[in-house]
Amino acid sequence: MEEKIYSIDPVTEELARKAEKEGIETLWDRKKVMKTPCGFGEQGLCCRICAMGPCRISPTEGKGAQKGICGATADVIIARNLARMIAAGTATHSDHGRDIAHVLHMAKRDGNYKITDEKKLLNLAKEWEVEIENRDIYDIAHEVAEIALNEFGKPFGTLRFLERAPEQRKSVWEKNDIRTGAIDKEIATIMHSTHIGCCADAKDLVHKGMRASLADGWGGSMIGTEFSDILFGVPVPRETEANLGVLEEDQVNIIVHGHEPSLSEMMVLAAEDPELLQLAKEVGAKGINLSGMCCTANEVTMRHGVKIAGNLNQQELAVLTGAVEAIIVDVQCIFPALAPLTKCYHTKFITTSPKAKITGATHMEFEEEKALQSAKEIVREAVLNFKNRDTKKVFIPKTKSHAVVGYSVEAIKSQLDRVVNSQLDEGGTLKPLADCIASGVIRGAAGVVGCNNPKVKHDYGHVELMKELIKNDVIVVTTGCAAQAAAKAGLMSKEARKLAGKGLAKVCELVDIPPVLHMGSCVDISRILVLVSELAKLLKVDISDLPVVGAAPEWMSEKAIAIGTYVVTSGIDTWLGVVPPVTGSDIIVDILTNKAEDIVGAKFHVEPDPHKAAQQMIERIEEKREALGLATEAVEA
Amino acid sequence: MNLFNTIYTGSNQALAAAEGLLKKAIEEKGIDHKVAFPETAYSLPIIYAATGQKMNTLQDLEGAIGVVKSLIDEQPRLEPALNAGLATAVSAEIIEAVKYALNETPYEAPCAGHISDAIIRSLGVPLVTGDIPGVAVVLGECPDSETAAKVIKDYQSKGLLTFLVGKVIDQAIEANVKMGLELRVIPLGYDVTSVIHVVSVAIRASLIFGGIEPGKLAEHMEYTKNRVPAFVNAFGPLSELVVSAGAGAIALGFPVITDQVVPEVPTLLLTQKDYDKVPATSLEARGIKIKITEIAIPVGFAAAFEGERVRKDD
Ligand code: SF4
Ligand code: SF4
């Protein structure tokens, strides 16, 4: 029998095999049971939007059903499904951003949530023309938070953060009527337009999707990132370790999984609480070992160097180690499978958010008003659970990798200051990076983001793509589960510059960075938008002119679709490693992979083979360089 | 134009020039005619360090042309671009060697041309002790003699060893800059290719003081980058040839600071239009810190001024 390889990550492979042997169900088993996926769904050809349906359209033209009962064509059905995916993705990031804005609104000098980065707050206040003279910083914060909260439902005008884009980009949006209004409105409009008997123009539905996606990247996500930085600090470079080998045999292992830093930040504090540490000793543990999973891991590793336990496909495997006292989750990308699975071990599966209750889990609602106390109660639960650990079942893989993380835009700038000649330039800008790109020492930059997906070998797409890019002097910035794949594969250690081409390796040496930069969680892709906007402004071009590309090699979520769409809409070509459910419509495929370029200057590319994708990305980068005539003019700071 | 393309163009020009000159020399002198620089045990030092081979005749140089060709691979990447810079250095060494093959004394005062082993050995100690804190290669043409003199004297006052290449030599003479080995200002020659005689100094430092085996090019480059605190100031319009020679300097670890607008590479290739700031910019780029011995003398004080006369109008 042919042996299926699940992952390029030895830890994942080892634990997945262990599960197989012990008959413990994982996502790969459920994938197998699913057999061949439904061809209609795979191509996007089925519709369940009303009760006249479900309807499904024959993939063969002229044979079988060509229209739904209402008369919707394949193009319309697929466009509606796509738009709804974008709306859902936008909704998750936006609700996340909204929550963080609320947290800033409740921040108090003597409260659990405080302002950590006043400078970032003041900059934002200035950007939004909030009075700052002679005012209490908390009053400023509350006003800024209120403005942000109004971005979600303001009746008039367009999003404030859209103004951060270069002028050329803004006029592209203006010309094409893509400038997004209130965040929630865009989401609601899609839900409206995709109702039975509403919008039946495929092209217009894609357009609506593009517009709504900006409400994610330049709206909800950007608010999430900005406000998280203000509250919890702007990330700076720090060392950490990644993979399930970070679990400790003799400590209480707590994994935070999910997305929102308002919870995980408090967990970090609670895990350091002397009383709880004492309690851990009393139950026979040497300490409390907090690690993270998925985007929550990214948030706390970026700001505190908390160790990364793993990415999406590893959440079940963490339980399989038998060494995890509690998995504490909030929202998004949490497999409900954890509920039955944790029942086979002593692991407590604790949900905390009213937005994501899971049957079979222990729900301990995290109350932001008494955040730290809430977090301590949850940690206490975990500590007390240590004594239930069955040592016979414990199996912690040895493997973990060293990584340097924490590359916010601000941190990148301060690293770049190392190479600024004080006789020539002021520090604090991206000019050195722009120079390196313009001169050709670095050919371009790629953002590699997104999830895991059992349709592809775990982490293979991420790691191979990144390796190929850095080898060709393309600097890689990454977020989300892609970033964790890179961390585990050692691409975020400074040593990894050996894998880079000479140009990139030289820059890494001079600037003292790894060739793959961890820029944070999925909402932190907004950092990448800020980065490319500033680069474009320095080079006096549009974002779509930059030798910059994006990729989501192993995407799976609707969030990833929203992200991909706003990245393309922002002018960056994006490669998908997993085919989206749109292939049933030639018109939609043509818009996404071709015509979009005429509208927003970028398009989607679908290429499951990461090596081929890398070559295509590099070719695209070279084309853009050629078109720009890089570089005759010096960059002006 | 694109920086790497400029480099490749210059490297190909240098290659063509070397080939042409070599062909002419072979026609004139025969293929077995002897090739050597005076007073050195390292043959043609750059080729020797790069390949481990000594060049004895014009025929050997034909082989060296092959080395140049192998170093030019026109890919849009830093590594091949730096290699092309090294190719230009090898071409320049071939051209300079042919000059010496055709003419016993191709260089005349004030130009030094090839520098002897003995001089390099004498520079070793002050370089190690930091008495010579750096090596400046000033190349091209300044807008006027005064500017040239200001820059050169600045280096002189800080004790740097300065090599001059091109029109800047005349400008320095016109502005009464005192020159000579003991004054640490050495005019090399008027052709761009004569810059190779300072590269030869750096490479021989690696062979002599570094004890690095000939043929281990990467190790030589590591040595020059870490141990020879040199940099280049390229003034005036930059030909493709100069740009590709500059890439050779960068390959050896020597930053290039120019007054021309070029695509900048942080710490390695910088534009400084303010001549007053050229020395400070250069020293910072090369990481040279001057040991300042505070002496209450209000004029530039350094070993390089030993023996200088005070002119009336000073
Ligand atoms: S909206 Fe139209 S296509 Fe969709 S289920 Fe209803 S009738 Fe069928
Ligand atoms: S990258 Fe994808 S799987 Fe990972 S946390 Fe983000 S949305 Fe979820």
Measured between alpha carbons, how far is A125 from A112 in angstroms, rounded to an integer?
Answer: 22
Mean pLDDT, residues A327-345 taken together: 96
- Among A390-399, A583-592, B13-22, B295-304, the minimum mean pLDDT is found in B295-304
- Write the CB contacts of B294 (distance below 8 Å, at least 6 apart in sequence): none
Predicted local distance difference test score (pLDDT) of residue B304? 55
pLDDT of A636 > 80? The answer is no
Predicted local distance difference test score (pLDDT) of residue B130? 87
Closest ligand 1 atom, residue A54 Cα = 5
Tokens of B37: 């620089």
pLDDT of B309 > 60? The answer is no
pLDDT of B310 > 80? The answer is no
Burial A12-25 (b: 16+ CB within 10 A, else e): bbbbbebbeeeebe
pLDDT of A100 > 60? The answer is yes
Residue corresponding to tokens 């600071």: B257
Q: What is the DSSP letter of B272?
A: -
CB of B249 within 8 Å of any CB in chain A? no
Residues whose beta carbon lies within 6 Å of some atom of ligand 2: A 294-295, 312, 333, 450-451, 480-481, 522, 557, 559-560
Mean pLDDT, residues A87-92 taken together: 98
pLDDT-derived band at A32 (thresholds 50, 70, 90) equals very high
DSSP track, A193-215? HTSTTS---HHHHHHHHHHHHHH
Predicted local distance difference test score (pLDDT) of residue A3? 59
Give percent of chain B above pLDDT 70: 92
- Write the CB contacts of B244 (distance below 8 Å, at least 6 apart in sequence): B6, B7, B8, B9, B10, B11, B13, B14, B84, B85, B87, B88
Query: Under a CB-based contact definition with an 8 Å cutoff, are residues A141 and A102 in contact?
Result: no
- How far does the centroid of ligand 2 lie from the alpha carbon of residue A622, in Å? 30
- Nearest by CB to B3, which of A416, A420, A439? A439
- Nearest by CB to A510, which of B3, B263, B267? B267
Chain A residue numbers touching B77 (CB-CB < 8 A): 440, 443, 472-473, 501-503
Predicted local distance difference test score (pLDDT) of residue B62? 95
Predicted local distance difference test score (pLDDT) of residue B290? 84
Mean pLDDT, all residues of chain A? 96
Predicted local distance difference test score (pLDDT) of residue A429? 96
Predicted local distance difference test score (pLDDT) of residue A365? 95
A313 alpha carbon, closest ligand: 2
pLDDT-derived band at A629 (thresholds 50, 70, 90) equals confident
Q: Phi and psi at residue A292, in whole multiples of 5°? A: -125, 165
Predicted local distance difference test score (pLDDT) of residue B314? 41
- Helix A460-471 to helix A610-628 angle (10° resolution) is 40
Q: Which of A419, A424, A425, A622 to mutate to test the interface with B (most CBs of B within 10 A)?
A: A424
pLDDT-derived band at B292 (thresholds 50, 70, 90) equals low
pLDDT tens digit sequence for B92-115: 999 999 999 999 899 998 999 999
Please indicate whether residue A47, judged by its CB atom, sits closer than 6 Å to ligand 1: yes
Long-range contacts from A65-74, C-beta under 8 angstroms, 24+ separation: A70/A196, A70/A197, A71/A200, A72/A47, A72/A200, A73/A200, A73/A202, A74/A45, A74/A584, A74/A585
Side-chain-side CA neighbours of residue B103 (13 Å)? 8
pLDDT-derived band at A259 (thresholds 50, 70, 90) equals very high
Predicted local distance difference test score (pLDDT) of residue A632? 41
DSSP track, B218-258? HHHHHHHHHH--EEEEEESSPPHHHHHHHHHHHHTT--EEE
Query: Under a CB-based contact definition with an 8 Å cutoff, are residues A314 and A257 in contact?
Result: no
* A632 vs A122: which has the higher pLDDT: A122
Burial A457-491 (b: 16+ CB within 10 A, else e): bbbbbbbbbbbbbbbbbbbbbbbbbbbbbbbbbbb
pLDDT of A110 > 60? The answer is yes
**How are beta strands A238-242 and A401-405 bridged, if at all?**
antiparallel
Secondary structure string (H, E, C) spanning A244-284: HHHCCCCCEEEEEECCCHHHHHHHHHHHCCHHHHHHHHHCC
Please measure the distance between the N-terminal and C-terminal CA atoms of chain A and give it in whole angstroms. 61
Tokens of A66: 């060509």
Measured between alpha carbons, how far is B38 from B197 in angstroms, rounded to an integer?
Answer: 12
- Identity of the amino acid at B289: K
Chain-centroid distance, C-alpha B274? 23
Establish, for the pair of chains A and B, how many residue pairs have beta carbons separated by less than 8 Å.
84
pLDDT tens digit sequence for A550-606: 999 999 999 999 999 999 999 999 999 999 999 999 999 999 999 999 999 999 999
Tokens of A308: 């990364």
pLDDT tens digit sequence for A35-85: 999 999 999 999 999 999 999 999 998 899 999 999 999 999 999 999 999
Secondary structure string (H, E, C) spanning A354-398: CCCCCCCCEECCCCHHHHHHHHHHHHHHHHHHHHHCCHHHCCCCC
pLDDT-derived band at B303 (thresholds 50, 70, 90) equals low
pLDDT-derived band at B129 (thresholds 50, 70, 90) equals confident
pLDDT tens digit sequence for B192-236: 999 999 999 999 999 999 999 999 999 999 999 999 999 999 999
Closest CA to B246 of B73, B5, B82, B12: B82
pLDDT tens digit sequence for A112-160: 999 999 999 999 999 999 999 999 999 999 999 999 999 999 999 999 9
**How are beta strands A604-606 and A307-310 bridged, if at all?**
unpaired
pLDDT tens digit sequence for A443-477: 999 999 999 999 999 999 999 999 999 999 999 99
pLDDT tens digit sequence for B62-78: 999 999 999 999 999 99
Measured between alpha carbons, how far is A450 from A480 in angstroms, rounded to an integer?
Answer: 6
Predicted local distance difference test score (pLDDT) of residue A635? 44
DSSP track, A82-116? HHHHHHHHHHHHHHHHHHHHHHHHH--TTSSS--S
Query: Under a CB-based contact definition with an 8 Å cutoff, are residues A631 and A442 in contact?
Result: no
- Among A299-313, A332-346, A502-516, B290-304, the minimum mean pLDDT is found in B290-304
Query: Under a CB-based contact definition with an 8 Å cutoff, are residues A202 and A75 in contact?
Result: yes
pLDDT-derived band at A8 (thresholds 50, 70, 90) equals very high
Instruction: Check A423 against B281: CB less than 8 A apart.
Output: yes
- Helix A558-569 to helix A202-215 angle (10° resolution) is 90
Measured between alpha carbons, how far is A210 from A85 in angstroms, rounded to an integer?
Answer: 12
Q: What is the DSSP letter of B273?
A: -
pLDDT tens digit sequence for A354-363: 999 999 999 9
Predicted local distance difference test score (pLDDT) of residue A245? 97
Predicted local distance difference test score (pLDDT) of residue B113? 96
Closest CA to B267 of A418, A532, A619, A375: A418
DSSP track, B15-66? HHHHHHHHHHHHHHH-TT-B---TT-SSSSHHHHHHHSPPP-BHHHHHHHHH
Mean pLDDT, residues A473-496 taken together: 97
pLDDT of A630 > 90? The answer is no
Instruction: Check B269 against A633: CB less than 8 A apart.
Output: no
* A544 vs B307: which has the higher pLDDT: A544
- Tell me the CA distances in angstroms from B283 to A28, A633, B134, B158, B255, one per residue in order: 60, 25, 8, 11, 10
Tokens of B101: 């093959």
- Tell me the CA distances in angstroms from A12 to A17, A247, A318, A398, A518, one per residue in order: 8, 14, 9, 12, 21
Query: Under a CB-based contact definition with an 8 Å cutoff, are residues A210 and A383 in contact?
Result: no
CA angle B160, B164, B165 (to 5 degrees): 150
Mean pLDDT, residues A230-238 taken together: 98
pLDDT tens digit sequence for B250-261: 999 999 999 999
- How far does the centroid of ligand 2 lie from the alpha carbon of residue A313, in Å? 10
Query: Under a CB-based contact definition with an 8 Å cutoff, are residues A609 and A576 in contact?
Result: no
